[in-house]
Chains A and B, each alone.
Chain A
């Protein structure tokens, strides 16, 4: 029993509620949300530290015994993800101060921002499958509003598609939970896992496993279900795009990881195989998109899809090395995608266009921006001293050990594609003849650069400090590999 683990949900929730009252006072809104985001980082770091020292933390809401009430569970993986979320949220928030514009700020931008964080943190922490659905909806509702806020034509158009896809996937989630409830008769995730283990394998459980894959795959953009993502993520302004790209799809990835390692770990051979095949196709689809476009935002968006594929390929191999690699890669990818989206936001603002063929020569006027982008790109591709290397190394190595040569080979090839696509941005935007942008004076590049530069520095430290972080990550992987630890922590027999 530990109340610390609900704090990362409560702080943004109360901040959001308070911010609704001061909607016209922008300065006060910025101050409050800035302070609260920093306080959240401190508390989540304390939580992660506690989980690392004392094992899985659980909290039965209102003191109802474990399977009957809602239980919040913070194991190493979820506390690390909550910490990463808080850091990314703070970075995007401080970036918003200089970029989002007064008209959006006055219309409840900061409260909705906080509610999005509530949804994401809640989804990472919950131990109840229906509560996961509710936190998904909190997250999605805020994301609808953030996507459409401002009301330009492209935003309206893309929000319609985004909402439609998510309404359908939410209905599917409800249906899947209903099927699961009728089979096992409980909603607590640890209890579900125990009941599934008792009942043994049956065809219906494989069907439910595949349904979960479809539901969370729609949220997390895996191969045949990623069609909505490139358009929808293109529409919103840069800090919102960074939040979406770093957090929303990763909640889907986390949910697939959680359900597949907790519910369907003993016998879901067919579903796991399906996951592996879809992950490989996801990488290929993302790679094709990343090569195809001359549009800076589109290139980064397709890189999200590649990363989702790589992480899920690691999860689908299901040995402790590959799961460790996936967690390494998941956290790296959240940080670096947020940094890249924020950097791309600056580039698009400077150039006044997202088309690579219409920009160039920024390295002469903005060397800081250029080198930050260069380091972030190398980290994304996985060049050894930087953050993307170790995760992919572990995934590829366990892929070869598992004799999935095709998958591991494609993961390796995908790095090349990632590097090519991101260097295309670097060469296009920073090299060549300087095309002096018209509105340079209006863009506060130095202030905007602070947040992505800090995230990039964090990614570099994450890569250099692999040795120090490794025990934490392998602890997270161990819980995923042995669901009994999780079940015993929740159901305390």
Chain B
């Protein structure tokens, strides 16, 4: 199972890298979304994918899955959610103000307003 997940995460990272190297700003933001998906799945996988009950004490099971990675992922998800929404609004503002979403044209001369 971990091997399967590793392949999936690898493909997510690959796609994310490819998208982030493209010219359009929106494709880059989609790439960051995929990158954080990959990172979150990686935390889950690295905490081992053994069979066990959901980490609720009411389940009365013999063994539970590791609760720590789930808490880490939850934290990382809201953080990346906040950053992504800020990034999207920034992209919108930049499109309004600068009139382009092409990264090549966002270069600008050094120190130029």
Interface residues of A (CB under 8 A from B): 130, 133-134, 137, 141, 144-145, 148, 151-154, 156-157, 159-161, 163-164, 167-168, 170-171, 174-175, 177-179, 181-182, 187, 231, 234, 295, 297-298, 354-355
Contact = CB atoms under 8 A, between A and B. Distances in A.
13 contacts: A134-B75, A144-B86, A145-B86, A151-B93, A154-B112, A156-B98, A160-B87, A163-B87, A167-B32, A178-B46, A178-B47, A181-B47, A355-B111
Interface in B82-112: 82-83, 86-87, 90-91, 93-94, 97-98, 106, 108, 110-112
Contacts of B79: 134, 137, 170
A181 B70 CA distance: 13
Contact of B94 (A157, A167, A178, A179): A157
A148 B97 contact: no
A182 B108 contact: no
Closest 6 CB pairs of A and B: A182-B46, A178-B46, A178-B43, A174-B39, A156-B94, A171-B39
B82 to A, nearest CB: 7
Contact of A153 (B32, B35, B82, B97): B97
A152 B39 contact: no
Nearest to A293: B110
B111 A298 contact: yes
Task: Say whether chain B's binding surface is mostly helix, strand, loop, or mixed.
Answer: helix
A167 B35 contact: yes
A153 B42 contact: no
Nearest to B109: A154
B20 A164 contact: yes
Nearest to A145: B86
Given A156-B94, A157-B98, A182-B46, A354 B111 contact: yes
Contacts of A187: 68
A168 B111 contact: no
B28 interface: yes
B63 to A, nearest CB: 16
A298 B110 CA distance: 10
A301 to B, nearest CB: 11
B55 interface: no
B76 interface: yes
Interface string B47-58: 110000000000
Nearest to B33: A167
Interface in B1-55: 20, 25, 28, 32, 35-36, 38-40, 42-43, 45-48
A167 B87 contact: yes
Most buried by B among A134, A152, A182: A182
B87 A157 contact: no
A182 B66 CA distance: 12
A174 B76 contact: yes
A445 to B, nearest CB: 23
B32 A154 contact: no
B61 interface: no
Contacts of A144: 83, 86, 90
Contacts of B111: 234, 295, 297-298, 354-355
A418 B108 CA distance: 28
Nearest to A137: B79
Interface centre among A157, A171, A182 (most CB of B within 10 A): A171
